[in-house]
Amino acid sequence: MTARWTKDRPPSLQKFMAAFPDDDACASYLERKRWPDGFVCPACMSVRGWKLESKRWTYECRDCGRQTSVTAGTIMHRTRLPLRTWFIATHLVTTHSNGISALQLQAKLGIGSYGSAWFLLHRLRKAMVDPERSTLEGIVEIDESSFVYRTKGEPEGGGQGRSPIAKMPIVGAVELREGRYPARIRLEPIKDFRHGTLHSFVMRNTVKGSSIWTDGNSAYAYVRDREHVPRVVKGKKAHELMPWIHRVFSNLKRFAMGVYHGFRRKYLQAYLDEFTFRWNRRRHYRVSFDALLGIGMVVGPVPLKVLTAS
């Protein structure tokens, strides 16, 4: 057993399926997750209501008459898949450290079409970003990188250096605890490497007073309300001075090629969000399932047209 599993080993698939043997068990879990202190009407906030016998997993508000199911207004809103399929998919996604593709998910769960598996997986990815997550603080390493991509109308390889030809530029940040140990990360696609673009990323993803460590890129100079520390030492390379952000980029590129055989521009942010979720919970596999469904309770419905248009 690897060291990763000795302290935070998630339940086996067999134990997980025994804990959630049917849709009713899954619905009961969602009910407790959504209303830990009892039913609350999302329309009028009344706590007076009762469970309907004529509709599965649905409550009716005594005061306004609104009927609300345990999945209404969540990422499972109006799903046609069994709740147990959702739960097993969530377990697989959160315990596969290297990721899992929609094609693999379709095969493992016996989903009828690739499109349904793809839609399920992308909705789970939407739930990987907590809208109330806090920003990075303290010492934060920040750098840029890029991914070469290929489509029918594009060259096979990217241009050299910072050339944008057939490349998808990204910027990343890693928070350091005690100035040494990697903690949380943030990753975003960017349109260019200019001053305004990079400063915007720093301002949105770090708190005031943070110490921003970068390479010699002058575009980060004079970032507002943060201490900018260019890490430049003669004779040393950037990955030696800022090892953790380069480790993040290295792992991200292996993640891209190992499971997805490369990222596509249209869904790049979704892939970055998945990698960020996995990295930030790499020592917390046991609670990742609960965290993912918990976020899914608050991010709201994700229609297919929203995903395909993004």
One domain, residues 115 and 21: yes
CA angle 7, 26, 69 (to 5 degrees): 135
**Residue 268, C-beta contacts closer than 8 angstroms, at least 6 positions apart:** 147, 168, 170, 189
Q: What is the pLDDT of residues 34-57, one digit of tens each?
A: 999 999 999 999 999 999 999 999
5: pLDDT confidence band, cut at 50, 70 and 90? low
Average pLDDT, the chain: 89
One domain, residues 66 and 34: yes
Looking at mean pLDDT, say which of 8-12, 254-258, 274-278 comes out highest: 274-278
One domain, residues 92 and 115: yes
Q: From the CB of residue 101, how many other CB atoms can be counted at a distance below 10 Å?
A: 15
The strands making up 227-230's β-sheet, listed across from edge to edge, are 181-189, 167-177, 139-148, 211-214, 227-230
One domain, residues 85 and 149: no
| Domain-located, residue 22 | yes
**Which of 226, 247, 263 corresponds to the end of one domain?**
263
How far apart CA 177 and CA 308 sit, in angstroms, is 38
**Which structural domain range is residue 56 located in?**
11-126+289-309
Radius of gyration of the chain (CA): 22
How far apart CA 260 and CA 99 sit, in angstroms, is 9
The total number of structural domains in the chain stands at: 2
pTM of the model: 0.88
| Domain-located, residue 54 | yes
**DSSP, res 247:** H
One domain, residues 73 and 152: no
- The SS3 of residue 287 is helix
Query: 153 is written with which tokens?
Result: 């109308």
How far apart CA 167 and CA 163 sit, in angstroms, is 8
Whether 186 and 173 have beta carbons less than 8 Å apart is answered as yes
| Domain-located, residue 6 | no
* 230 bridge partner residues: 214
Backbone phi and psi for residue 46, each to the nearest 5 degrees, phi listed first: -70, 145
One domain, residues 205 and 100: no
Mean pLDDT value of segment 202-211: 97
Query: 225 is written with which tokens?
Result: 């309300």
**Residue 233, C-beta contacts closer than 8 angstroms, at least 6 positions apart:** 241
CATH number of the domain bearing residue 256: 3.30.420.10
Q: What is the pLDDT of residues 110-148, one digit of tens each?
A: 999 999 999 999 999 999 999 999 999 999 999 999 987
Q: Tell me what pLDDT residue 166 has.
A: 65
285: pLDDT confidence band, cut at 50, 70 and 90? confident
